[in-house]
Amino acid sequence: MSHVPASAAEPQAPLFTESDIVDHRRIGAHLRPPASQAVIDKSVAACISAGLSLELAETLTAAAADQQQLRRALRAPKVQRFGSEEFTYIEFDVVTWRVLPSPDNIRFEDEHARGTIGMPRFGAVEGEALLTFEMDSAEKLIDAMAPRITDMVDNNPHVGSILDRGIETPGWLSALRVTTDVGAVTRLESTDGFGRIVASHKGLGITFKDVAWNLRPRSRRATNLLKDLVEWAGSDMVTDEQARKVRCSIMPNARVIIGFSAPRGFDRARRRFVAHLHMAPPMNFSTATTLNAKANAAVDNLYERGLLPVPSGMTAEMVRDILDGSDREHGLLADQVAVLACGALNPHPNKRQARAVNEAIVDLTGAKPKLEERTQLAAEVALRGFPADKRLTALRSSLDRAWRWSALRGVELTCTDPLDLLPEALRELVQAGDTAGPATAELAALASYHLVGGRTQLLTRSEFGGRGSNTEPQQIMRQLAKTDVGLRQLCQIVLDGRAGRDPQELAKGTMPEDKRIAGAEPLTPARLRELIDLSDEEGITHDSPEDRFAAALKEFQGRLDDLHAAAQEVGDVTGTDGVALVDTLGYDNSNVRNTLVEITDLVSEWRGARRRADRMRADLDESGTAR
């Protein structure tokens, strides 16, 4: 078994003019007349001897243009590695009417992620290089594939060259078992050759339905097609249509995967493998398709390394299936999925999670991603509920920039009600100062989703970037989280967004409410920016005992910081000899000494009070009397 180094990408077929039409007989030389049953049985036995199942053996035998070539290939399988995945394959000429245009193609990643494609993802037979695909109706599958095949025929510039020259660049193929209401059939599928296969079927004049069900192996129609092609292949007296059919009948030296070794099932390994082929270097897929392919690879890598954030009551498998779009019945709200995506795909740069995300992207593209690429992936996953239109670009860009605020990196989803998150965030505000705590980060991340994805987009990129008075989304989020007024407003935004209301502006000193507030004005992008300007001038405006206590602690911390800075300044004063005067003259003030001792005693008392209260509560019975 030979090892083949991984190539960067499959080269694209060049465009040709009418004068470049290939003689059909040159391609037709690969075809052989229908084989006898004895020859077929010999090839099936050779496949089984090579370790393949009967299902795979029969599928490969039916697809081979030359049975002797297939048997030779089985004696010399090759191996190609991509990162942690290794694929065993054989090269032989495949007849194209045995290859199904893949219903799980990389071009559909965006539609799969958004749930708009109407088709499931591939599954796989455990331990085999055999994909599975199930739909309850063959007609629904045909109808779902028709527009995608038509789009490829109409818009792929390489279709014309294949009609005139045949398939010149071999593709990778995999075995696929399709199960519908008419039973199960096993064919090869266009793993990375969707366009080439669609073009060849157009040249042959056959349909998706023909390949899946009408041209069954050893059927009269399939046998007659092969006989006609063999006859035309050896003749110079053919019509243009007959010559085109011969040219489109073969994928020469197709690379058919017959085995694999990977830390994931064959369906996910194949998906990652195809993304690698098409994104190294990047191809001209849509931005949404490219980001979803990268995001799914990152999620897989995080899952396999045990690094996915898992909220209470969930499993890593559940999180993976939510983030890659496989599970749409998970029960999480859209803003909660957004927080989950931000926490998983936008971790702190120095964390193992960030390295795992980067590794997955490098594996696909060969290029180390920039810091902001993780926020782009997270934003794309969060916004999968939106159609991939022009508006999505603006939404993704704004959410991406909002999540560049460092406090949101690695945010954790607790699924706590916003009205319960708010008091905890207020406590963090007065105790931690400018350092946003976990409740503040979760509340801000929830609100950012609604600020971007609401009926009116309130959080927008500055036209001129974050310079001068131009405020970018991350600055807006940071400023809102710096005051109690801003935190309450964020909470109200979440409540309104979940209820489908336009966000309401909270009056100063009022608490959020999950209802329409009498007299409340709707927020606008301009008013939102005004609010963050006002927040610089306002401090804590509430006056509950707990809030006054928290404010007093914050003031105390500030005074301590000032005292520490003043003490350092004393030590910075030096004499003409450069020696600190406090070191030579000293400083002894009994009032200062007594005050510092008193403060130390007070702080020690405060620290012990919480522990005493906890012990006292533990000693109380349910009636409140001491035991």
pLDDT, tens digit, for every residue of 88-131?
Answer: 999 999 999 999 999 998 888 888 878 788 889 999 999 999 99
Question: 376 with 261, same domain?
Answer: no
- Picking from 278, 299, 325, the residue at the C-terminal end of a domain is 278
Q: Return the higher-pLDDT residue of 585 and 3.
A: 585
Give the integer Cα–Cα distance in Å for 469 and 99: 59
Residue 302, H or E segment: helix 287-304
Are 272 and 317 in a shared domain?
A: no
Question: In this structure, are 109 and 238 located in the same domain?
Answer: yes
Last residue of a domain, one of 515, 540, 565: 540
pLDDT at 400 over 90: yes
The confidence score (pLDDT) of residue 30 equals 94
pLDDT in tens, 491-537: 999 999 999 999 999 988 889 999 999 889 999 888 888 887 765 55
187-196, 257-266, 358-367: which range is least confident on average? 358-367
Q: Mean pLDDT throughout 259-288?
A: 82
Annotate 70-111 with three-state secondary structure: HHHHHHCCEEEEECCEEEEEEEEEEEHHHEECCCCCHHHHHH
* Same domain? 228 vs 110: yes
Out of 246, 278, 310, a domain closes at 278
Q: Are residues 515 and 569 in the same domain?
A: no
Q: Are 85 and 177 in a shared domain? A: yes
Q: What is the reported pLDDT for 617? A: 53
Do 146 and 242 belong to one domain?
yes
Total count of domains within the chain? 4
Mean pLDDT computed over 399-404: 93
- Give the containing element (helix H, strand E) for 251: strand 250-261
Whether 560 and 491 share a structural domain: no
How far apart CA 159 and CA 277 sit, in angstroms, is 20
pLDDT at 626 over 50: no
Tell me the sheet residues that pair with 64. Answer: 94
| Same domain? 98 vs 176 | yes
In terms of domains, do 141 and 37 share one? yes
Per-residue model confidence (pLDDT) at position 367? 80
pLDDT of residue 14: 43
- Whether residue 615 lies inside any domain: the answer is no
Percent of the chain with pLDDT over 90: 56
- pTM, to two decimals: 0.69
**Structural domain for 50, as ranges:** 24-278
Whole-angstrom Cα distance, residue 320 to residue 338?
A: 14
> In which band, very low, low, confident or very high, does the pLDDT at 208 lie, cut at 50, 70 and 90?
very high
Same domain, 274 and 291: no
Structural domain includes residue 235:
yes
The answer on 56 and 30 residing in a single domain is yes
- Helix or strand or coil: residue 175? strand
How sure is the predictor about 332, in pLDDT bands with cuts at 50, 70 and 90? very high
- pLDDT band for position 57 (50/70/90)? very high
- pLDDT (0 to 100) of residue 584: 86
- The token duo for 290 is 């490219």
pLDDT tens per residue, range 413-456: 999 999 999 999 999 988 866 678 999 999 999 999 999 998 88
